[in-house]
Structure 1
Amino acid sequence: MGFNCGIVGLPNVGKSTLFNALTKAGAESANYPFCTIDPNIGIVEVPDERLDFISDCIKPKSTVATTIEFVDIAGLVKDASKGEGLGNKFLSNIREVDAIVHIVRCFDETDISHVSGKVDPIGDVEVINMELLLADLDVLEKALTKVKKSAKSGDKELKIKSDVLEKIYNKAAEGVQLRNIVSGDDMKYIKEFNLLTVKPVLYVANVDEDGLAIDNDYVSQLKKVAEKENAGCVKISCKLEAEIAELDEEEKNEFLNEMGLEKSGLEKVIAGGYELLDLITFFTAGEKEVKAWTIKKNTKAVDAAGKIHSDISRGFIRAEVCSFDIFKEYKSLQKIKEAGKMRLEGKEYIVKDGDIIYFRFNV
């Protein structure tokens, strides 16, 4: 699994339409609030032209892309943290994801109702963010009460944890989204609580077809919000993505060219998610299988090996590495070796995006 994203937003902003387009899973989608009752889950292959190129050259028995899991969560409403709408059940579903994809309606359409009666991206974002923050406050308050009590034993580590929780609780009480203030040192003390407002956010501006060419006022407003929050932001048309999802690869490319689009919405969301989570892709390649693997930036070779199998990491000897650019030039791992372009790297080597790696190990 590459990573997983929870798709959130107010009711009726295009979440399930986007989910259907991304996953082709046939999740129900309709023009009324709370259409999604249970969270829909879909696993999507991550498109990667590099993987296709490597596979075309090597012609393995199988080619395996890395994947992303999308969780389509019911539309949240004001006071969801208090049980309104479909309440805390759905807030708990978001706690398990790596990142939040927040769909925001950025187009006018009289035939599609809006839960608050008007299109207001800033107001929509504030409603969702406040509900996530209130849910976090509830978790932090309970945790702080428990840890403070335990810290009275004189345990230094518990005292530090208590201080960190109190600091973060006070910031949350002031309305601060926690992803903007939680440091790496603090994270180890709060990681267990899966706080919602610590998770990275990718805002998705859902526009109509006209809005794809030029940013309308709604999109401009949302981009300012994202910049202020240090969040990601991409613009797509969920309706158009639903149409693209029905096409084969050749038809899709023709359609995107006609629309003047370089990437599909799926590719934009994945690219935005990778950037948010500091993810990269490396490849393993052989006659049996060419496969893509997702890891965090700055991952050491020995840890990347563990992504494949714990035995490979445990018995790590060395990594034989070439970049994708080198492979693109020679089109053969054997030719790369013959040209002396295959590098030998040890456990501490930091894997780069696009590396093709063969791990030597002995257990």
Structure 2
Amino acid sequence: MRVGLVGFSGSGKSTLFQLLTGATPDPGKVHAGQVGVATLADPRLDFLTALHKPKKVTPATVEMLDTPGLIPGSHGDNPQRLALIREGDALLIVLGSFAGANPANDLTGFREEMLFADLSVVSNRIERLTASSKKPKADREVQLKELELIKRVYATLESGEPISTLGLTEEEKKPMRSFGLLTDKPQVVLLNATQGEEIPPSLLAMAPDTLVLDAKLELELSQLDPEECSSFMQDMGITEFGRDRIIRSAYDAVGIITFFTAGEPEVRGWNLERGGSAVDAAGKIHTDLAKGFIRAEVTAFDDLARLGTMKEVKAKNLQRLEGKEYVVKDGDVVFFRSGL
């Protein structure tokens, strides 16, 4: 999973990128984008680590793509910058709340940039399909069907609505996936504001789930030693960091859950699309596990945390044997049996 950090220039994206990934932004990659890895802090992983005392601990992670900021009112550089944004599976839209900034207007402007970019892509596709479908070809019926769908998409965009409002099925989305259409991507809106600043009502009306944090302050605090950091947080009335909340919101937006494998060699968190099956989860670990899948031994994390040990879980008959079609739940602790 890759989350694109997007927004207008000066919104504080690069500071947020450093906070989330620990990577220092590279000035040489301003126009090409920079990828870093953000680790998802998870108390469940800490519990499993304390329980198994493994040789290795590997948390679930997500890639963050720091994209070049769009330039308000620019028609020269933005198409190239928007093309890079298409590489994100989800978009974390960063809005600055600094002197003279209007976050609600910035969000409106950014969404308009994405909508116009999608209109251009879809319009070009309609032109190509219209010309191609007039010729007798074996796949002509497929092209005509796609053309009908693309015209629906174009009409939605032309009315000023994002593609996400169409409610397309997964089957309908398949022919459009290679386009990377921006207004169909999951979005998380973040207000980068001074500590204690409230979200403007005008922004909340547009994006009720808007997150807020002071990226610069949190970055500075994260670089202090733990004792000094704790003291500063207490003095400033900060009870928790917003970093992990942001990463979790990105997971939720994309529809990703975390399942665990746990034992003495390693305790590890794995990402899986919500609704994924046991065999899908096995394939995340190794293709051979999926090919030779026999069964999955599944324990709900809450049961394990409540009872304290796997021995007690088994004594209460709470460890389940599941087949290929089992839908993995967030927090499941799974051991896979394979014939390969």
Is TM (by shorter chain) over 0.5? yes
Counterparts in 2 of 1:47 and 1:258: CA distance versus 1, 3 Å = farther
Output the CA distance in 2 between the equivalents of 1:107 and 1:78: 16
The 4+ residue runs of structure 1 with deviation greater than 6 A are none
Per mean C-alpha deviation after superposition, the further-off stretch among 339-348 and 195-204 is 339-348
Matches of residues 99-118 of structure 1 in structure 2 within 5 Å?
99-108=90-99, 118=100
Q: Map of 1:238-257 to 2, 5 A cutoff?
A: 238-248=215-225, 252=229, 255-256=232-233
Cα pair 1:16 1:36 within 8 Å, conserved: no
Between 1:45-54 and 1:170-179, the stretch displaced more is 170-179
Q: Contact between 1:103 and 1:205, CA under 8 Å: does it hold in 2?
A: yes
| 1:207 correspondence with 2:193 | yes
> Structure 1 252/278 Cα, relative in aligned 2: closer, same or farther at 3 Å?
farther
C-alpha change, 1:283 and 1:136, in structure 2 (3 Å) is same
Query: 2:234 and 2:336 mapped to 1: Cα distance?
Result: 40
Equivalent residue, structure 2, for 1:39: 33
| Match for residue 203 of structure 2 among 194, 219, 222 | 222
Any residues of structure 2 matched to 1:327-342 within 5 Å, and which? 327-342=304-319
Counterpart of 2:205, as a letter, is K
Q: Does 1:266 align with 2:243?
A: yes
Candidates 47, 59, 67, aligned match of 2:61: 67
Q: Decide whether the 8 Å contact of 2:55 with 2:265 is kept in 1.
A: yes
* Offset of residue 326 of structure 1: 1.5
Deviation at 1:122, TM superposition (A): 2.0
CA distance in 2, matches of 1:132, 1:290: 40
| Equivalent AA in structure 2 for residue 56 of structure 1 | A
Question: Which 5+ residue runs of structure 1 have no aligned equivalent?
Answer: 109-117
1:358 aligns with 2:340: no
Superposed CA RMSD: 2.2
Indicate the residue corresponding to 1:306 in structure 2.
283
Q: Is the 8 A contact 2:157 2:163 kept in 1?
A: yes
The match for 1:138 is 120
**Which SS does the other structure have where 2:107 is aligned?**
helix
Q: 1:256 and 1:340 mapped to 2: Cα distance?
A: 44
CA shift, 1:138, in A, is 1.5
Task: Give the equivalent residue in structure 1 for 2:88.
Answer: 97
Counterpart in the other structure of 2:180: 194
Contact 1:54 1:331 in 2 (8 A): no
* Residues 344/16 of structure 1: CA separation in 2 closer, same or farther (3 Å cut): same
Aligned-residue identity in percent: 34
On the 8 A contact 2:40/2:248 being kept in 1, the answer is: no
- Distance (Å, rounded) in 2 between the aligned partners of 1:320 and 1:255: 45
2:18 is aligned, of 17, 20, 29, to 20
How many angstroms apart in 2 are the aligned matches of 1:35 and 1:320? 45
The aligned residue for residue 125 of structure 1 is: 107
Corresponding letter in the other structure for 1:225 = M
How far did residue 330 of structure 1 move?
A: 3.2
How far residue 149 of structure 1 moved from its aligned partner, in angstroms, is 2.4
What CA distance in whole angstroms lies between the structure 1 residues aligned with 2:252 and 2:280?
A: 20
* 8 Å Cα contact 1:102/1:204 also seen in 2: yes
CA distance in structure 2 between the aligned counterparts of 1:79 and 1:140, rounded to whole angstroms: 22
Equivalent in 154, 174, 177 of residue 162 of structure 2: 177
What's 1:111 paired with? none
Deviations 1:178-198 (A, max 9, x none): 222241253123122111111
Letter in 2 for 1:226: A
2:93/2:188 contact within 8 Å kept:
yes
Deviations 1:212-238 (A, max 9, x none): xxx25x3x22221114xxxx4211111
Q: CA deviation at 1:355?
A: 0.4
State how many pairs are aligned.
Answer: 336
Q: Could you tell me how far apart the structure 2 residues matched to 1:17 and 1:321 are?
A: 40
1:157 and 2:142 correspond: yes
